[in-house]
Amino acid sequence: MEQTALFGKGWGLLRIEQKINVSPLDFDNRPIGVFDSGLGGLTAFKELRRLLPREDIVYFGDTGRLPYGTKSRETIIRYAGQDVEFLLRHQVKMVIAACGTVSANVPVDFGDSVPVPFTGVVAHACAAACAATRKGHIGVIATPATIRSGAYEKQLHAFAPSLQVTSAHCSLFVPLVESGFIQRDNPITCMVAEQYLSPLRDSGVDVLILGCTHYPLLAEVIGDYMGDSVTLIDSGRAAAGYARDFLTQRHMLADPGRGAGTNRFYVSDSIEGFSEIAGIFLGETIRGEVSRVAVG
Ligand code: DGL
């Protein structure tokens, strides 16, 4: 049986208009593929694990080539293509680019060349932000490449043209996260956060999109600085919610009669560093095999 899926249109929302084979069995035990430049995509992974405990998940963190957010658009697109190709070798049924930088910089028709459903994070985060704002003033923090692309602003204005949007890049957040400086009382991280976030706090936003999937690992630091009146939007988490809805509607979830889903993690650099910080973020020792691979 074939159905046509329309994932949305416009900049920052990865457009997918393709034929999808719907399983006649009404379930699909292939894994979900998730990728990011490093640890950030674990924000989507964590939420997927919570929402869809029976799904197998294959995660790729391109730690050997991180950060993406300071690279040129051409390089980001090339890396994204190679990351998707790697996941497709694992027979995934869906690919989630759990990376704001990739989502914001690939062309809108990028998903057309991917033979399975493909989505990024930008549109889902923007939809969540629009639902949360009361003042109509939304802040966006992300990597330099994402802010430069203007993808979040374009998507927010496509949803609601009258929104006020204030954006800032926070380039040091990704290295801080990858170095494990994620504790709420870490003085260096708190100082860096103040430097980046003070214009946003002063501007009076009531919703702040964490437009890079690494940033929710600093949610406590960011939340403490911005204050309780500002709602933080986790872009990876928003994309995971979308993936759950999509797979449910398309009868593409794993067999409900099976046991707990498995995790496979792949990184393109040291396994140790990744596993340690992933464990802190996930709140438990990483479950599932972690392997080092060469991509590209
Ligand atoms: N986690 C990524 C993002 O969402 C990439 C960060 C980076 O590699 O610079 O933008």
Question: pLDDT tens digits, residue range 90-116?
Answer: 999 999 999 999 999 999 999 999 999
What are the structural domains, with CATH classification, of the chain? 2-120+237-292 (3.40.50.1860), 123-234 (3.40.50.1860)
Peptide bond into 67 cis (omega under 30): yes
Q: Is 105 in the pocket of ligand 1 (CB under 6 A)?
A: no
Q: Name residue 95's beta-bridge partners.
A: 33, 118
The model's pLDDT over 177-201, given as tens digits with 9 standing for 90+, comes to 989 999 999 999 999 999 999 999 9
Q: Kindly report the protein residue whose alpha carbon is nearest to atom 9 of ligand 1.
A: 69
Structure tokens at 97: 């680019």
Q: Is 190 considered catalytic here?
A: no
Contact 122, 151 (CB under 8 A): yes
Q: How far, in Å, is the centroid of ligand 1 from the Cα of 66?
A: 8
Mean pLDDT of the chain: 91
The model's pLDDT over 257-278, given as tens digits with 9 standing for 90+, comes to 999 999 999 999 999 989 988 9
Q: Which of 2-6, 177-181, 203-207, 243-247 has the lowest mean pLDDT?
A: 2-6
Contact 97, 118 (CB under 8 A): yes
The ligand 1 atom at the shortest distance from the C-alpha of residue 121 is 4
Does position 2 have pLDDT exceeding 50, yes or no?
no
Answer with the residue of higher pLDDT: 5 or 217. Answer: 217
Residue 23: per-residue pLDDT: 53
Q: Is 130 considered catalytic here?
A: no
- Distance, CA of 75 to CA of 73 (rounded, Å): 5
Q: Is 139 in the pocket of ligand 1 (CB under 6 A)?
A: no
